[in-house]
Amino acid sequence: MDTPRLPNWFGGAWTALRQFMYGLTGYEFSRHALAMRHEMEAVFMVVTLGDLTGVPILPPIYSLRLLPYVVPEIATWKRHMARRKEFWEKDEYDLHGL
Amino acid sequence: MNTLLAVIIGALTVYLAYTLYARRIDRYVIQSDPKRATPAKLYMDGVDFMPTNRNILFGYHFKSIAAAGPIIGAIVAATLWGWLPSIIWLVLGVSFIGWASDYSAIVLSVRNEGNSLSAVAHKLISPRTRSILFLFIFFYLLLVAGAFVGIMAGVMQGQPRTHLGIIVLVGMGLLLGQMLYRWRVGLVGATVLTVGITLVAILSGPWSEGTFTALNTALDGLTGGTPLVTYFDPTLAGFKGAEAKIMPSLFFWAVAICIFCYAGSVLPIWRMAQPVVYVGFWITALAMVLGLGGAAVAGFVKPEVAQFQIPAFKGFNPQLGPAGIMPLWPMLFVTIACGAISGWHALFGSVGTARQIENEADMLPVGGGSMLTEFLLGLLALLAVSVGAKGAPVGAFANGLGGFISVWGVPLQYAVSLAFAAFIVIVLVVTQLIFRVMRVTLSEWLGEVIPPCRNQHVASLISIALALLLVMTGTWIYLWQLFGGANQLMAALSLLLVTVWLASVGKNWLYAGLPTIFMYVTTVASILVTAYNLYFNVYQPNREAGRTLPMIGSGLMVLVALLLVIAAVVIAVDGVRAFMKYLRRPSPAPTTAPARG
């Protein structure tokens, strides 16, 4: 005997509610963790491949060995580093409402 | 009038504003195109630019904009003018201006490569707009910091039942940060533990009340009952004005709040500020959801908590002090700020949210929908204070909200404790973030000229000292209205930017332009009225009585008011010039709205 199924719209509404609750609660933590990791990666990139944006670093042999792995990220990283940022763009300075 | 009718009005407002007006603007003016690539997709870097599901983004954006503003504004406005003009402004404001401001700021950013409002203003209007924005931001934050610290200190002095819950909240916030980021505990388990303990502490408030009452008495006894500062308060003695006192206990709680905010400002965000906000969110959300639901069904289950107790209308110009004026226009429109329209939403929400918009069709439900949902928060606060009616405004709000919560079977004593705690929590968690942003604003603005401002401790202490000075002046009502004026002026600036952009791309600018004119004229008028009231109702009486501190504080506020007006005039001149320049250009050929599935 088939298990009775709930109407599709109920499933859709339940999914939307779960996603909304995630947006209200845990999403901020995951974004912040990503941002923290990204900042550490940015430091690593400046040290190893900063010469690509004009920082006068002589790339050591290790940078060249890492190069094939970071090539897909270079355009994104350059755009991120070169873009003018205001301090209030960081999640750290989000007032969470007023 | 009863709460069920008001809830129905609220629901109808949200539905009609969204379907009959907002959708038309989105479809025929902005012409959002689901097939057009957004900055989140074009520049995806997994951090700032990240396409995000619409429902998740709605929750995230709503949490970013909804806080204490709509609650306090509705409480104050209902007390001054009655519930009728307050509900009218909430309904009309959000329907024609509020959703448009939030939504349009997101559209502006999405259609300009994810740039912030200041970057777009730099390009479209003038380079000095960015500097003026810093000035706005700092003084805006200073005013709201003073207002929030002042109201919290007052409530904590008068409501000893809230102290245990607040102290435990801070502790649980610190624990949560440690659990999530260091011990790698799962979010669900950590939430249940920390929020559960905080809730128990809040509900235990009535049992701990005696201890903290004794503490307040002991503190006041340090000066033998003599107040630290005496000032003229125009809101006392039935709004005729009388002498009020700042006792050692109030000063103690104000300093305690400032110490908490200092820690939130200088510690890493994950250590304290973020987890405290998270725990506080759950407490407030619980109270508000139970409250809104209770307000809807109270008429059937517990009719005695569903009837409005305050007058519908108290007059066009209620008295406030011997020499003050409080005209309905323009003051109502800045007293209720965030529940109807808020400039802060445009500034912050558009940057973080706009860079996560996956699809242009999401802009309206996320931006406009969040603002319409926040309107419900303001409406709930209005209902609570209208049925509560006992005691001071915040007490009336807590009694009313407690009554709504008690509809679900929670004993009234605990329901009111939860309501008081929810109020303080929502204000407290925002205030620590305010000081955080203030110290960074100070560093950015003055760091080159005054190098010590670059130090986070120096900048934090300067911000806190200025806010404490405003608290000690005692003129809270004008502090709140000046904050509202600054907030709405930022909204007018954001709408001006949207209007100029719409003109530059040849679109119909009326839906943003008309609100711009209304908000600009209203907020500049309100700031001038507040400056007048501050001078004649506060500065002069205190000067005549020889009270130096209130005199300095009110004088500072008058100067801030005049600075804001000057900044507003500069922005208006630059904005109108830019607008006329784009208006005179030949418009691009009109495009048809993209087909929708």
| ipTM for the complex shown | 0.74
Burial class (CB in 10 A: 0-12, 13-18, 19+), A72: exposed
Q: Using CA atoms, how far apart are residues A26 and A24, in angstroms rounded to an integer?
A: 7
Which residues on chain A are in Cβ contact (under 8 Å) with B43? 76, 79
Residue A1 covered by a domain: no
Residue A89 covered by a domain: yes
Which residues on chain A are in Cβ contact (under 8 Å) with B105? none
Of the partner residues A38, A87, A96, the one whose CB lies closest to the CB of residue B430:
A96
Look at residues B53, B190, B174, B269 and name the one whose alpha carbon lies nearest to residue A27.
B53
Answer whether residue A6 shows pLDDT above 60: no
Contact B47/A34, CB-based, under 8 Å?
Answer: yes
Answer whether residue B282 shows pLDDT above 80: yes
Of the partner residues B342, B344, B444, the one whose CB lies closest to the CB of residue A87:
B444
Residue A98 covered by a domain: no
Q: Using CA atoms, how far apart are residues B169 and B176, in angstroms rounded to an integer?
A: 10
Tell me what pLDDT residue B133 has. 78
Residue A14 covered by a domain: yes
Residue B320 covered by a domain: yes
**Percent of residues, chain B, with pLDDT higher than 90:** 38
Contact B144/A98, CB-based, under 8 Å?
Answer: yes
Tell me what pLDDT residue B471 has. 81
Q: What torsion do the CA atoms of B168, B170, B171, B173 make, to the nearest 10 degrees?
A: 120
Top-confidence residue, B323 or B174: B174
Residue B542 covered by a domain: yes
| Structural domain harbouring B578 | 3-219+255-584
Contact B307, B48 (CB under 8 A): no
**Percent of residues, chain B, with pLDDT higher than 70:** 96
Top-confidence residue, B235 or B159: B159
Lowest mean pLDDT among B8-17, B42-51, B226-235, B413-422: B226-235
Chain B: closest CA distance from residue A89 (Å) = 6
3-state secondary structure (DSSP) of residue B591: coil
Residue B594 covered by a domain: no
Lowest mean pLDDT among B191-200, B324-333, B528-537, B543-552: B543-552
Tell me: the pLDDT tens digits for B284-315? 999 999 999 999 998 888 888 888 888 899 88
Preferred mutation among A88, A90, A91, A93 to probe B, highest tally of B CBs within 10 A:
A88
Contact A22/B59, CB-based, under 8 Å?
Answer: yes
Confidence of residue B478 (pLDDT cuts 50, 70, 90): confident
Q: What is the DSSP string of B173-212?
A: HHHHHHHHHTS---HHHHHHHHHHHHHHHHHTHHHHHHHH
Residue A52 covered by a domain: yes
Confidence of residue B481 (pLDDT cuts 50, 70, 90): confident
Tally the domains of chain B: 1
Closest residue, chain B, to A74 (C-alpha)? B45
Contact A32/B269, CB-based, under 8 Å?
Answer: yes
Which residues on chain B are in Cβ contact (under 8 Å) with A42? none
Residue A79 covered by a domain: yes
Residue A63 covered by a domain: yes
Amino acid at B570: V
Pairing of strands B242-246, B229-233: antiparallel
Contact B440/A22, CB-based, under 8 Å?
Answer: no
Which residues on chain A are in Cβ contact (under 8 Å) with B46? 34, 38
Of the partner residues B67, B116, B137, the one whose CB lies closest to the CB of residue A96:
B67
Lowest mean pLDDT among A15-19, B207-211, B546-550: B546-550
Which residues on chain A are in Cβ contact (under 8 Å) with B348? 88, 94-95
Tell me what pLDDT residue B592 has. 61
Contact A95/B180, CB-based, under 8 Å?
Answer: no
| Structural domain harbouring A57 | 8-93
Residue B259 covered by a domain: yes
Q: Using CA atoms, how far apart are residues B226 and B154, in angstroms rounded to an integer?
A: 17
Tell me what pLDDT residue B524 has. 94
Closest residue, chain A, to B267 (C-alpha)? A92
Confidence of residue A91 (pLDDT cuts 50, 70, 90): low
Residues 6+ apart with CB under 8 A from B315: B81
Residue B224 covered by a domain: no
Confidence of residue B584 (pLDDT cuts 50, 70, 90): confident
Tell me what pLDDT residue A96 has. 66
Whole-structure pTM value: 0.85
As a whole number, mean pLDDT of residues B36-65 equals 89
Contact B17, B95 (CB under 8 A): yes
Which residues on chain B are in Cβ contact (under 8 Å) with A26? 187
Q: Using CA atoms, how far apart are residues B133 and B214, in angstroms rounded to an integer?
A: 46
Tell me: the pLDDT tens digits for B246-255? 888 888 988 8
Tell me what pLDDT residue A92 has. 64
Q: What is chain B's mean pLDDT, rounded?
A: 87
Q: What torsion do the CA atoms of B370, B371, B375, B376 make, to the nearest 10 degrees?
A: -10
Cis peptide before B70 (omega within 30 of 0): no
If interface means Cβ-Cβ distance under 8 Å, which residues of chain A face chain B?
A: 15-17, 19-29, 31-36, 38, 76-77, 79-80, 84, 86-89, 91-98
Answer whether residue B382 shows pLDDT above 90: yes
Confidence of residue A61 (pLDDT cuts 50, 70, 90): confident
Alpha helix locations (H) across B25-127?
Answer: 39-42, 54-65, 69-81, 83-93, 99-110, 117-124
Answer whether residue A59 shows pLDDT above 80: no
Which residues on chain A are in Cβ contact (under 8 Å) with B66? 97
Tell me: the pLDDT tens digits for B217-246? 898 888 888 888 777 777 777 667 777 788
Answer whether residue A7 shows pLDDT above 80: no
As a whole number, mean pLDDT of residues B432-456 equals 84
Residue A77 covered by a domain: yes
Confidence of residue B594 (pLDDT cuts 50, 70, 90): low
Confidence of residue B9 (pLDDT cuts 50, 70, 90): very high
Tell me what pLDDT residue B89 has. 94
Answer whether residue A5 shows pLDDT above 60: no
Residue B26 covered by a domain: yes
Tell me what pLDDT residue B251 has. 87
Closest residue, chain A, to B50 (C-alpha)? A31
The count of CB pairs under 8 A between chains A and B is: 132
Tell me what pLDDT residue B529 has. 92
Tell me what pLDDT residue B206 has. 82
Tell me what pLDDT residue B587 has. 60
Contact A23/B63, CB-based, under 8 Å?
Answer: yes
Contact A94/B64, CB-based, under 8 Å?
Answer: yes
As a whole number, mean pLDDT of residues B579-584 equals 89
Tally the domains of chain A: 1
Answer whether residue A1 shows pLDDT above 60: no
Tell me what pLDDT residue B208 has. 85
Question: Of the segments B38-42, B146-150, B475-479, which one has the largest average pLDDT value?
Answer: B38-42
Confidence of residue A4 (pLDDT cuts 50, 70, 90): low
